[in-house]
Amino acid sequence: MLKRLLIVWFAMLIVASVNGGVREALLVPMMAPGSARAVSTLLLCAIVFLLTYFTIEWIDPRSSHDDWVIGGLWVALTLAFEFLAGHYLFGNPWSELFAEYNVFRGRIWILAIITILVAPGVSARARDRVNTPR
């Protein structure tokens, strides 16, 4: 299960990077940067749910506890990448990285983190309903 959840997380990382590129190339020129970030965040949330929905059976969690473990590991990996690579590799100041979590200033990035956490459980439950014979 660990190897598979890591493969899916790397796919999320690639998708998130492409999403950021699309935001900068297409959305920012068409709208205010804050609005572009919000649209990009919501789009990423939808993509994370879709990716998780289509891969959760392959990851093969055996219980709802496993779903939470997967989501928790994905969040830990995401935050580690975001803050460590964001600061040390990409040179973003800590204040800029933490600013993305300020919902009082219209930043909704926390929704992506919450989505990453709950997507395995939601997807597993949704797949169970789809696969249950009627």
Q: Cα-Cα-Cα-Cα dihedral of 107, 44, 92, 70, to 10°?
A: 110
Q: What is the pLDDT of residues 12-29, one digit of tens each?
A: 999 999 999 999 999 999
Q: What is the pLDDT of residues 65-123, one digit of tens each?
A: 999 999 999 999 999 999 999 889 888 899 888 988 988 888 899 999 999 999 999 99
The set of residues, in sequence order, having a beta carbon less than 8 Å from that of 45 and lying 6+ positions away, is: 111, 112, 115
| pTM, two decimal places | 0.89
